A and B are shown apart, each in its own frame.
Chain A
Amino acid sequence: MKGRLIFLLALPVVAGFGQIIPGPVWPAWAQPLTECDVPNRQNEIDFPLPRVNRAIAAKHLNVLVLGAGSSQLPGPSGAKNAYPARLQQALAAKLPGVEVRVATDVKPTRTAVEMVKTLKPSLADAKPALMIWQTATVDAMQAVDPDQFSQALEKGIKIARSAGADVIFINPQYSPRTESMIALATYVENLRWVALQHEVPLFDRFNLMKAWADLGTFDLYSATKKLDMAERVHGCLGGLLADLVLEASKASVPNTESGREPGK
């Protein structure tokens, strides 16, 4: 009897080691690739972005960032340093000869449902080939019905695609101090599931920032009114987001030089 019990207890232990070694949960021994990239960012989902690819080919890429409070920074130079502006810089640098314009529709404390309500005029103004949608934090804080949240995401994807834009999701920030007060899990999972089902690439900001905290790239616990760390974080987010956009758009061209298969 005891033997059987020990066998049963040993199963999760063995499996647990498997989980802990290669995952992004605790890669503390690993060296970061650059200042802000992290090894084994395996949770990111790439799907092809055909509309972005066509826009790049036409040398003219418009992007709309749809988001809430964590897509902006306070202060007079906030708009210049927040990740949408940094994304524009990074894309422009990586796409010489392409005119890149990033517009924003960002207001704090908005749920996905509220963002979808005003989405059509924003799309009509910006005429983007790509809509980057940062959401789920406010939904989790207000504990909105998770089904309503998922339905709003689906509706938003449909509206954006029929307006000629591909979609990328950005999930919530990792915020260690408020972790015990905001139940993000359900919303992060629903966002991921909608992304998978509708073939929307997901920029996994949550696990990226968690890895930064574990690696010591940024001290996300620090209490400060100063903006310098927040600006560097947004700089990194903008740069890595640009990488995801380019990878995903390349993935939609067969036989590119990098040889990436779509959906990988």
Chain B
Amino acid sequence: MAPVPTDRDLRLDLFRGLALWLIFLDHIPSNLVSWVTIRNYGFSDATEIFVFISGYTAAFVYGRAMAANGFIIAAARVLKRAWQIYVAHVFLFAIYLAEISYVSHSFDNPLYSEEMGVLNFLNNPDVTIIQALLLKFKPVNMDVLPLYIVLLLWFAPILWLLLRSPTLALLVSAAIYTVSWMFEWNLPAYPSGDWAFNPLAWQLLFVFGAWCALGGAARLARWTKSRVVVALAFCYLAFAFAIAMTWYFPALGAYVPKFVGEAIYPIDKTNLDVLRILHFLSLAVITVWLVPPDWPALKSPACWPAIVCGRHSLEIFCLGVFLSFAGHFVFTEVSNRVFMHVIVSVSGIAIMVGAGALISWYRRIERQGSGPRPPATKPGYAGSEA
């Protein structure tokens, strides 16, 4: 059985916190501040970081539970987590319904009679609400939590396999990815089409994160620290950056040879394009190279706001989705000027940090209230979520 590490890597919380901020900024439509986010400079975006780190921490938390208490107890805990995320998703859907209902009553313009049709689902809630509860009807920007739920539902067996034969588990995951590409498998959505994040494809990154947590990262260290790999990662990021620039300056598109364009487009987010995986891996290699686990700044006040958000990722993710609805609402109802974009973005992140600090504080007083904890668990990570 593979050894399960015992120290939580602060880098995970830091980068997951940063990813949550970027997801929030990207989710506000037309947000000018979102030009700082990584999706504008390459192929992958914050979703990859979030899914990878979530896989890593899930293996970290439930791997220890499975090693200590066995399959049944660990699986039960994983399923409990999936249920919590489901409840969070339904809660967000309720907020979305409130927003949509408000817009449908307050907005009318003959120019947009077609676009207003998107509100028509309010006319038959009997169907759409049930489809939403079945995770088939997913409003815009509410795709990540259903993906997370499905990934956790089958995580217990893959974790069992990861603990026994990590390589085989990774091969199984890669095989599912390949087969879903070959046969175009995906889960059905309502009213038509498929899931915007195909779980059969995105599971690869989640399982890869889990594999890294269970000793894979240590085995890869020889490669990720090699100068050649770091240089290749830099080259790939530079290539992706150059391509991304042609999205904003179409004149530059003339310098992209036709065969390159035909080879790379369209870059498929739904099915987690290989170009996106490579871009994420390049970012990861360079991050690991720049930021060692014992980097002193990780304990500095400068990193604390992101770490405190990353540590409570489910709550902060949900809050971020809510805040992006609210931010768009402010743009349409109050002002759409540049300074308002900055205010909404900055105060949104400040609210996320405040909420993260509040949740940490609650955890602390609840722990104190329930008396001394068993010595086997250490504060800070043992009670953390995946």
B40 with A19: CB separation less than 8 A: yes
| Chain B, Cβ-Cβ closest to A197 | B262
Contacts of B179-218 to chain A: CB distance below 8 A: 184, 189, 191-194, 196
CB-contact partner of A70 in B38, B114, B251, under 8 A: B114
Question: For residue B324, which residue of chain A has the nearest CB?
Answer: A180
- The answer to whether B328 and A1 touch across the interface, beta carbons within 8 angstroms, is no
**Beyond A8-B290, A74-B110, is A181–B250 a contact (Cβ under 8 Å)?**
no
Chain A positions 217 through 248: 1 when the CB is less than 8 Å from some CB of chain B, otherwise 0: 00011111111011001000000000000000
Asked if A173 is an interface residue, CB under 8 A from chain B, the answer is yes
Bound CA span A75–B110, Å: 9
Q: Is B84 an interface residue (CB 8 A)?
A: no
Most buried by A among B112, B139, B196, B290: B112
**Contacts A12-B36, A177-B107 given; does A141 touch B117 at CB 8 Å:** yes
Mask for A110-148, Cβ within 8 A of B = 1, else 0?
A: 000000000000000000000000000110011111110
Q: Say if the beta carbon of A151 comes within 8 Å of chain B.
A: no
CB under 8 Å from chain B, chain A span 167-193: 173, 175-183, 186, 189-190, 193
Complex Cα distance, B338 from A138, in Å, reads 30
How far apart sit A26 and B261, CA to CA, in the bound complex (Å)?
28
Q: Which chain A residues border B265 with CB–CB below 8 Å?
A: 193
- Please report whether the interface of chain B is mostly helix, strand, loop or mixed according to DSSP: helix
* CB under 8 Å from chain A, chain B span 101-140: 103, 106-119, 139-140
Within 8 A of B (CB), among A56-113: 68-70, 73-75, 108-109
Q: Is A13 among interface residues, defined by CB-CB distance under 8 A?
A: yes
Residues of B within 8 A of A182 (CB): 115, 118, 140
The answer on a CB contact under 8 Å between A142 and B192 is yes
Q: Tell me how many residues of A have a C-beta within 8 Å of chain B.
A: 67
B255 interfacial contact with A, CB 8 Å:
no
Distance between Cα atoms of A43 and B110 in the complex (Å): 27
- Contact, CB under 8 Å: A1 / B112: no
| Cβ contacts under 8 Å, A43 to chain B | 250
A70 CB, nearest partner CB in chain B, Å: 5
Known A-B contacts A173-B115, A183-B140; A224 and B35 likewise in contact (beta carbons under 8 Å): no
Q: Which of B108, B269, B328 lies in contact with A179, CB distance below 8 A?
A: B328
Chain B residues positioned under 8 Å from A8 (CB to CB): 286, 290
Q: Which of A12-57 touch B at CB < 8 Å?
A: 12-13, 15-16, 19-20, 22-23, 25-26, 28, 42-43, 45
Complex Cα spacing A145 to B290, Å: 40
Given contacts A137-B114, A176-B336, contact A16 B35 (CB under 8 A): yes
Given the complex of chains A and B, what is the CA–CA distance between A28 and B338 in angstroms?
Answer: 10
Which chain B residue shows the least CB distance to A174? B30
Q: How far is the CB of A221 from chain B (nearest CB, A)?
A: 6
Provide the residues of chain A in CB contact with B192, threshold 8 Å: 142-145
| Residues on the B chain within 8 Å of A108, using CB | 113-114, 117
Interface membership of B360, Cβ < 8 A: no
Query: Are A189 and B266 in contact (CB-based, < 8 A)?
Result: yes
Docked-complex contact B41 and A25, CB < 8 angstroms: no
The answer to the question of B270 belonging to the interface, with a C-beta cut-off of 8 Å to chain A, is yes
B177 CB to nearest chain A CB (Å): 18
* Alpha-carbon gap, A70 to B117, bound state (A): 11
Given A16-B40, A224-B109: A176 and B331 within 8 A (CB)? Answer: yes
Within 8 Å CB of A143, what residues of B?
189, 191-193, 196
* Cα(A28)–Cα(B337), bound, Å: 10
Residues of A within 8 A of B98 (CB): none
Q: Nearest 7 CB-CB pairs, A to B?
A: A69-B114, A179-B29, A230-B111, A143-B193, A175-B115, A180-B328, A183-B140
With A178-B118, A224-B109 known, 11 other A-B pairs at CB within 8 A are: A1-B290, A11-B41, A16-B40, A42-B250, A70-B114, A143-B193, A173-B114, A196-B261, A222-B109, A223-B106, A230-B110
Report 11 cross-chain contacts, Cβ distance below 8 Å, ordered by A residue: A26-B338, A45-B250, A70-B112, A70-B114, A141-B118, A150-B266, A176-B331, A177-B109, A177-B332, A181-B100, A196-B261
